Structure formats: structure tokens, C-alpha cells
């Protein structure tokens, strides 16, 4: 199955690459920060059509069109364009994210970092890879030496879940904090050892599904802010190399 997921993720990425930098229509879902473009929709349609053809009984949960079918065994969770704001403004940091669950457990995850032509993939109990290179989280165990990454939700003006205060504390207590604009890519970079940790609030299942498995299969840990096991339908996410996880939780709970 993973080979087929990689194939369709790359095809969807080609759609996005073809549209990148061109003039296209933009719509607003909830506010001026929450965009959707015609290329989000084109990418999603391509993926869903593929699933309907190859796996017609499987259920699909997609960002733009919601739930399709109600198969109890397999669920595909799709973000056809993670990083829409970047894409719409000509910033080449965006991805296609596809996760597959079997009976409620993530079994496959693929994130295509489109403009770098980097395919991140994982299968349950089989490790994580980037373009066939095996991934491993970083060995750093000191938060002060860590480079972290985060994102802000579309309703950041309301400061949900103390997002601003937590950001400030991590800026003070780490080496650096970055904000790339694609949660799926953020998690892949944790799996690759580029970042030591990632936290964010108000995420959705399609933001999380593939990246969660990729981090875990690279030796990392994914929990909520209280170190409880995290499922993809929860809103708080902390992903790390495992070695700075407890230190990050201490910061998260200190504000």
C-alpha cells in the first residue's frame, strides 16, 4: 500500500507544482488567514479519485470535502495542500499529507515536501524514510541547545490555549524557534533530526496523521501537552526526539 500512497502523493504534488507562482482563485473558509485555492481542490480530487478506483470501500477524511464512505476498517486522512498560505504567496514550503488508519491505528503515512521533491514515508513497525534514506530523530537532550518549530492557528488573534505565552517561553529557553507554515513538514523535520521538537494547538486530523507516524517510526515521541498518548483527533500536539520531551512539557505547563 505504501508504494501506491507515495505514487498518488507525488502526482498530487505535480498538480501543486504546476500551479505554484501562477494566478489562481482564492477563497476564505473562516477568516482572511484561512485560505483555500483551486489547487487545494484539484489535488484533493486527484487523491480521492485514486482511492475510489484502487480502494473503493475505504473511507476518506479530507480537509476540503470532509468524510466519504463509512468503512469501519480503513480510513484515509488527507491534506491535499498543507501550507496553503505559503503556496498562495509564493513561498515554496508546502506539502501533500496522506495517512491511513486500519481499525483506528495509523499504519501508513506519506508527506510530500513538494518543492524539495522529498518524499517522507513510514509504515507501522517498519521505520521512517526520506527518499529511501532511513530517518532518525536527533540525539540532543538539552532544551537550551534545541531548535524547535511551531505554528499558529487561524484564530491566533484569540490566543487559544495560551499560544503566545508558550511561544515566548520557548523562545527564551531554546536555541531558536522557527515557524514554517506546514505542520506536516514540521513533523517530518523532527523525524529527520533537523528540529528537536514541535508543538502546536488547534490542529486537525489531516495536519497530524502522516507526520505522527513518521515521527514515531523515526524514534520520536508524540503526545499531548500533559504527556498523554495523543490521537489524531485531539487538538494539542507535542512531537519531539524524546530526549527533550519532558523539558518541553515543563515549559508548556509553566504558563
Q: Which three cell numbers stand for residue 187?
A: 513533523
pLDDT tens-digit readout, 127-139: 999 998 999 999 9
Under the banding of pLDDT at 50, 70 and 90, the label for residue 35 is confident
The residue that leads in pLDDT, 181 or 202, is 181
Q: What is the pLDDT of residue 32?
A: 65
Say yes or no to pLDDT of 52 above 90: yes
Average pLDDT across the chain, whole number? 94
Q: Which three cell numbers stand for residue 87?
A: 503556496
Q: Which helix (H) or strand (E) holds 80?
A: strand 74-82
pLDDT tens-digit readout, 150-194: 999 888 889 988 999 999 999 999 999 999 999 999 999 999 999
Under the banding of pLDDT at 50, 70 and 90, the label for residue 68 is confident
The residue that leads in pLDDT, 37 or 13, is 13
Under the banding of pLDDT at 50, 70 and 90, the label for residue 11 is very high
Under the banding of pLDDT at 50, 70 and 90, the label for residue 23 is confident
User: Which residues make beta-bridge pairs with 198?
Assistant: 149, 239
- CA torsion 211-214-220-221 (nearest 10°) is 50
Q: How many CA atoms lie within 13 A of 230 on its CB side?
A: 28
Q: What value does the CA radius of gyration of the chain take, rounded to a whole number of Å?
A: 17
Residue with cell 517522507: 120
Instruction: Catalogue all structural domains in the chain, each as residue range(s) with its CATH number.
Output: 2-134 (3.30.540.10), 143-252 (3.40.190.80)
pLDDT tens-digit readout, 211-250: 999 999 999 999 999 999 998 998 899 999 999 999 999 9
Under the banding of pLDDT at 50, 70 and 90, the label for residue 21 is very high
Q: Are 218 and 136 in contact (CB under 8 A)?
A: yes
Q: What is the pLDDT of residue 217?
A: 98
Q: What is the pLDDT of residue 202?
A: 87
pTM of structure: 0.95
Q: What angle do CA 39, 45, 51 make, to 5 degrees?
A: 140
Proportion of the chain in helix, strand, coil states, percent, rounded to 5: 35, 25, 35
Amino acid at each position: 500500500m505504501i508504494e501506491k500512497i507515495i505514487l498518488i502523493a507525488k502526482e498530487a504534488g505535480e498538480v501543486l507544482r504546476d500551479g505554484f507562482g501562477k494566478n489562481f482563485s482564492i477563497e476564505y473558509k473562516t477568516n482572511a488567514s484561512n485560505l483555500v485555492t483551486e489547487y487545494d481542490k484539484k489535488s484533493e480530487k486527484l487523491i480521492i479519485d485514486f482511492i475510489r478506483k484502487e480502494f473503493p470501500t475505504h473511507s476518506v477524511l479530507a480537509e476540503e470535502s470532509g468524510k466519504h464512505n463509512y468503512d469501519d476498517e480503513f480510513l484515509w486522512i488527507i491534506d491535499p495542500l498543507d501550507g496553503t498560505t505559503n503556496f498562495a504567496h509564493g513561498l515554496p514550503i508546502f506539502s501533500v499529507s496522506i495517512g491511513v488508519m486500519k481499525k483506528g491505528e495509523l499504519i501508513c503515512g506519506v508527506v510530500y515536501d513538494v518543492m524539495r521533491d522529498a518524499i517522507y514515508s513510514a509504515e507501522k513497525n517498519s521505520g521512517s524514510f526520506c527518499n529511501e534514506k532511513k530517518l532518525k530523530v536527533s540525539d540532543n537532550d538539552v532544551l537550551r541547545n534545541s531548535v524547535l518549530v511551531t505554528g499558529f492557528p487561524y484564530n491566533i488573534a484569540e490566543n487559544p490555549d495560551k499560544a503566545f505565552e508558550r511561544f515566548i517561553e520557548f523562545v527564551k529557553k531554546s536555541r531558536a524557534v522557527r515557524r514554517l507554515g506546514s505542520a506536516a513538514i514540521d513533523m517530518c523535520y523532527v523525524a529527520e533530526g533537523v528540529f528537536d521538537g514541535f508543538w502546536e494547538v488547534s490542529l486537525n486530523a489531516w495536519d497530524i496523521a502522516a507526520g505522527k507516524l513518521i515521527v514515531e517510526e523515526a524514534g520520536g515521541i508524540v503526545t499531548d501537552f500533559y504527556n498523554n498518548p495523543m490521537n489524531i483527533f485531539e487538538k494539542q500536539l507535542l512531537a519531539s526526539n524524546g530526549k527533550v520531551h519532558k523539558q518541553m512539557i515543563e515549559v508548556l505547563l509553566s504558563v
